[in-house]
Structure 1
Amino acid sequence: MALLAVASCSPAFAQSDAESASKAPVATPATSGGQGSPPPGTPSIQSSLGNYGDPGGIRAFLDAKGIDFAFTYIGEVLGNTSGGVKRGATYEGRLDATLDVDLEKLASLKGAALHAEAFQIHGRGLSGNNTMDLFTVSGIEAYPSTRLYEAWFEQKFADDKIAVRVGQLGADTEFFVSQTSTLFVSSTYGWPAITADDLPSGGPAYPLSALGTRIKVTPFDNFTVLAAIFDGDPAGPYRPGVNNPLPQVRDNSGTNFRLQDPPLVMTEAAYAYNQEKSATALPGTVKVGYFHHFGQFAALDTPITTTNYRGNDGLYGVIDQAIYRAPGTDDQGASTFLRIAATPSDRNSIDFYVDGGVSYKGLIPGRPDDTAGFSAAYGRSSPNLAQTDALTGALVHDYQALIEATYQIAILPGFTIQPDFQYIFHPGAHGVADPATGLPIRDAAIFGLRATAHY
């Protein structure tokens, strides 16, 4: 689909440009983001298409002027063979279109850049239709729509040690990110359930983003500080009888551009160690983050009250650590990740969250670019919420947990297929009733297959 779109709009540039572009290394630009998007450095299928990889030479022509575009299509079939509110299978897909402009190359504006990203989302999600779980089975699951995700301007200063970004921003592209966890299919390994469930409209994360400003400071090598302020409700508040209760429907195009809501502030410090090729120890990264929302949040006090608390806070940590490198290679071997987060119990439905796992690139001999992974996640429902449930006679929330096993097969550069298995314990944290029985939703076993093509 992406290649057809490119070919249909390409002017007739010289064939020699197309030939040279097909031989050049092509990878995902560092600004790529969003749930399920290829991480920086992902190869493109352009390198496998020869002279057809750049129809008319348009990509080479634009790249010389500092303009880079990319398309990624993710399609997947997911089905629950047991559990959930019903059994069955769904298909969903997402086409990503990104545009990056180096304004220094294009217009001699030193250190300046533009970025835009949009999604076309289609199909039916398994969580919304079958399992009704809190973690969301797929990182691309969203309400079908064509929407803007990010659109920002960035200016770098002080030899690129300071970078200021302004515009429509997604927090999940930079905050709370584990590089190891990007392998996995479940949404919670991207923007985790504790922020997705506790923040208004799920916070500024796929598929919603928000107007904001981010500053990134790198005072010395391998140490980075991020700070950002966002509009605190990307879709705007729900008003019964006035608008739709679903945030993705309240902002179905990504163009609400709200500024009138109480803000969300996020900060994060990251230290990457043993990154040099000459390092004798294995590389890793440690991150510590804090966020504060200035809005009002309904109290989960007992006895039951109608009090609102002003403000909400969260603290999190992330560790990525390589634990084995195959001799004679730079990237084959095993890596692990661990993320932990906590929020106040008196105003949040999930007050503690942890996930972690391991991935191994090149596990099977002769398959150096395949990656296998196993992970687990746990989200605890607030004890205050459980007490409120008990007092009202509702199903009592306790926790939701997940295990996932996956294997990403590199068919050719820029194209992968990925069998996946997930098992969800306590979908809806045992606090959501199966409409057919009135009992908590049963544990769900999920099998799936994802295909990803990046151009």
Structure 2
Amino acid sequence: MTNSIYRWPMLASGLLVACPCLAQSTPSDSDKAGSPASPAAQSDAKPQATSPAIFLNNYPKPQVQSTASVAGPPKGPLVGIGQALADRGIYLRALAVDEFAGNVTGGQGRGTANSYVFPFGFDLDFDRLAGWKGAALHYSMNVSQGSSLAVDHTGNAISFQTRYKAVQNLRLAALALEQNLWGGKVNISGGRVAPLTYFNQSNIYCTFQSNSVCFNPAVVPIQDRALGFFPYNTWGGRIKIAPTKWFYAQAGIFEANTSLISTNGFDWSTKGSTGHQTAVEIGLQSADPRARNLYHLRIGAFGNTSDVTDPYLNTRGRPRLGRGAAGGAALVHDGQAGVYVMGDIAAAHMDGDAKRPITVFGGVISATNDYVPFKGQALAGVIVTGPLPGRTNDTFGIVGSYIRLGDRQRQFLQASRALAGGTDTVFPDEGVFEVNYGIAAHRGVRISPNVQYVVSPDNFAKPRAIKRSGDILAFGLRVSIDGAALLGLPAQR
């Protein structure tokens, strides 16, 4: 792959740096995630708003904490310092998340595991810092440590702990320049980023601990390595157009370079590039972000031009492993692609209270190729905010996913089992479910016990397992602490 593929996001960033006069400062309502700032707050040299609404939902987010427990003005021991920094366009953020999981049945083995992550960084509003209208810089670092129940014990591909990462180090997760034009109707963002920080995004997914839902319901693009995800960055950029309050369209192109996963994120060369990742998405949403029946609908497509090695067939199209197999070199395919349709709506409210919505969500994601590990996913769920009187910031969630394996992947697993002497059938699909309760224990602190159940789990991590994995019943616990909210530092959300 040549470097020419990446010239347009780099060139766009360069033009934006050279021409800040093109930018506008008025926010677009289509990008607001909460109550809009007042006109006075937007124009005052020292506004009282905790974050500029124009940048909400546009920058590459750190691992997301629900805003339910941090509503209202900042409170905490550093609120004075935090507001002084925010008045100058500087926003600090830090999030600590610990996830425990242990299974009592099923999988290839029983055990427990614990992982934790510490994403932190800052956001700079160049309008306040230097008078550069509509521009911002976003910087994120990430530390991941710990063990995985799926990797170490059960042997299935879909983790019970979203925050677990195979490469555990301190790394650069995102460095992005953002520019808003024409009153926020056009948003350009690019730099060292990952596609899934922009596409198929919602702040409700990480109510759950299962990796089938959080950060994105993206089993297909993540497991198939079609699209990169936080905290693994490459060169790339995205342009988003929102001509109205209720409609937007966005498209992006990003370097495909899995060799950078094992680095600290500061290797910015393209020598290991294998192709490019692309994604497009159109969205429909409530024109008013405070609408009683708030809704979002996302329709997207994605692709990756990198070669994909067939797990089962050789270059002559014959099985290369198993009894009587032909052997030989693996067949190599030219890229992969997929599509998705996802949405959510506040369908009802507890006791008619607008602050206690019952949000229903779901959708489908499908790969267009049969040689990838996962062919498709369908999911549905519900999140009740304020399920109990007097606990308006707590949440209760249920979600279920049906996940289909790629045909060649299933054939590979079946042949691998046969070579090990096993005869159990490899199921073509599996189900992943989670029930949880999120306790808003303190401002910025959430404790979320959960129960996860996997029906007909795969054994990707142990392909030569003689016996089929039994259904997995696992218990989990997530504790997340939003450092900015706890200390009283205004932060973009």
Q: TM-score range by the shorter chain?
A: 0.7 to 0.9
- Residue 296 of structure 1, CA deviation: 1.6
Match of 1:196 in 2: 222
Q: 1:439 aligns with which of 467, 479, 482?
A: 467
- TM-fit CA distance, 1:329: 3.4
Letter in 1 for 2:303: H
Opposite residue 232 of structure 1, the aligned amino acid is A
SS of match in other structure, 1:449? strand
The 1:257/1:440 distance shift into structure 2, 3 A limit, reads farther
Checking the alignment, whether the CA contact within 8 Å between 1:405 and 1:421 is kept in structure 2 is: yes
Q: Does 1:89 align with 2:89?
A: no
Structure-2 residue corresponding to 1:5: none
Q: Is the 8 A contact 2:99 2:161 kept in 1?
A: no
User: CA, structure 1 residues 182+432, in 2 after alignment: closer, same or farther (shift >3 Å)?
Assistant: closer
| Aligned 8 A contact 1:349 1:381 in 2 | yes
Structure 2 residue 340 is matched with structure 1 residue 316: yes
Aligned pair in 2 of structure 1 residues 403, 103: CA closer, same or farther (>3 Å)? same
TM-score (norm 1): 0.82
CA contact (8 A) 2:247 2:284 kept: yes
Encode CA deviations 1:395-450: one digit per residue, 9 max, x unaligned.
Answer: 735223211000000112211111111012233x2566487x62123322111111
Counterpart Cα distance in 2 of 1:319 and 1:188: 16
Counterpart among 132, 144, 148 of residue 109 in structure 1 = 132
Contact 2:157 2:461 (C-alpha < 8 Å) held by counterparts: no
Contact 1:399 1:430 in 2 (8 A): no
Q: Does 1:53 align with 2:54?
A: no
Q: Which has the higher contact order (CA 8 A, sep 6+)?
A: 2
Residues 316, 340 of structure 1: 8 Å contact kept: yes
CA contact (8 A) 2:155 2:459 kept: no
What amino acid is the match of 1:85? Q
1:425 aligns with 455
Alignment equivalent of 1:65, drawn from 88, 96, 115: 88
Partners of 1:123 and 1:209 lie apart in 2 by 21
One-letter amino acid of the counterpart of residue 89, structure 2: G
Secondary structure (helix, strand or coil) at the match of 1:219 reads coil
Instruction: Determine if contact 1:26/1:43 at 8 Å carries over to the other structure.
Output: no
Summarize deviations over 1:302-360 as a string: whole Å, max 9, x none.
Answer: 53373322221101110111110245633312111112111134321211111221000
Deviation at 1:211, TM superposition (A): 1.3
Which residue of the other structure, out of 260, 265, 283, is the alignment partner of 1:270?
A: 283
Asked whether the 8 Å contact 1:48–1:412 carries over to 2, the reply is: no
Q: CA deviation at 1:35?
A: 7.2
Q: What residue identity is the alignment partner of 1:293? A: N
**Aligned to 2:266, which of 234, 248, 255?**
255
1:411 aligned partner: 441
Q: Distance in 1 between matches of 2:293 and 2:117?
A: 36
Q: For the structure 1 residues 129 and 34, does the alpha-carbon distance in structure 2 shift closer, same or farther, using more than 3 Å as the test?
A: farther
Question: How far off its partner does 1:151 sit?
Answer: 0.5
1:184 is matched with 208
The question of 1:132 aligning with 2:143 is answered no
Separation (CA, whole Å) in 2 of partners of 1:414 and 1:223: 31
1:398 aligns with 2:428: yes
What amino acid is aligned across from residue 43 of structure 1 in structure 2? V
Alpha-carbon distance in structure 1 between the residues aligned to 2:122 and 2:333 = 41
Q: CA deviation at 1:32?
A: 6.6
The answer (yes or no) to whether the contact 2:452–2:474 under 8 Å persists in 1 is: yes
Alpha-carbon spacing, 1:65–1:284, altered in 2? closer, same or farther (3 Å): same
Q: 8 Å contact 1:134–1:193 — kept in the other structure?
A: no
Aligned partners of 1:362, 1:344: CA distance in 2, in Å? 40
For 1:389 and 1:381, the matched residues in 2 are separated by: 10
Out of 203, 219, 241, the residue aligned to residue 217 of structure 1 is 241
SS of the residue 2:384 aligns to = strand
TM-score by length of 2: 0.76
CA contact (8 A) 2:60 2:193 kept: no
Q: Structure 1 stretches of 5 or more lacking a match?
A: 1-23, 237-247
RMSD of aligned C-alpha atoms? 2.7
Compute the displacement of 1:389 (Å): 4.8
Aligned residue in 2 for 1:303: 318
Shift in alpha-carbon separation, 1:442–1:110, aligned structure 2, 3 A: same
How many pairs were matched up? 409
Give 1:45 shift: 11
Q: Distance in 2 between matches of 1:41 and 1:26?
A: 15
Q: Distance in 2 between matches of 1:34 and 1:398?
A: 34
Deviation, structure 1 residue 216: 0.8
Alpha-carbon contact 1:45-1:414 (below 8 Å) kept: no
C-alpha change, 1:422 and 1:270, in structure 2 (3 Å) is same
Counterpart residue number, 1:359: 383
Letter in structure 1 aligned against 2:474 = I
CA contact (8 A) 1:25 1:47 kept: no
Partner SS state of residue 212, structure 2: helix
Change (3 A) 1:415 1:276: closer
SS in 2 for 1:341: strand
Distance 1:90 1:136 in 2: 11
* Aligned: 1:151 with 2:181: no
Name the counterpart of 2:38.
none
Q: Could you say if the C-alpha distance between residues 178 and 66 of structure 1 is closer, same or farther in structure 2, counting changes exceeding 3 Å?
A: closer
C-alpha distance in 2 between matches for 1:449 and 1:44:
23
Percent identity, aligned pairs only, is: 22
For residue 86 of structure 1, report the CA deviation from its aligned partner. Answer: 2.8
Structure 1 Cα separation of the partners of residues 71 and 59 of structure 2: 13
Q: Residues 193 and 232 of structure 2 are in contact (CA less than 8 Å); yes or no, is this contact kept in structure 1?
A: no
Alignment partner, residue 186 of structure 2: 162
Task: State the distance in 1 between where 2:62 and 2:361 align.
Answer: 17
What residue in structure 2 maps to residue 7 of structure 1? none
Q: Displacement of 1:158 after TM fit? A: 1.3
Match of 1:43 in 2: 70
The answer to whether the aligner puts 1:331 opposite 2:355 as a matched pair is: yes
- Residues 234 and 258 of structure 1 are in contact (CA less than 8 Å); yes or no, is this contact kept in structure 2? no
Give the structure 1 partner of residue 303 of structure 2: 292
Show the counterpart of 2:490.
Answer: none
Contact 1:74/1:452 (8 A) holds in 2: yes
Task: Give, as a single letter, the amino acid of the residue that structure 2 aligns with 1:174.
Answer: Y
Secondary structure of 2:365's counterpart equals: strand
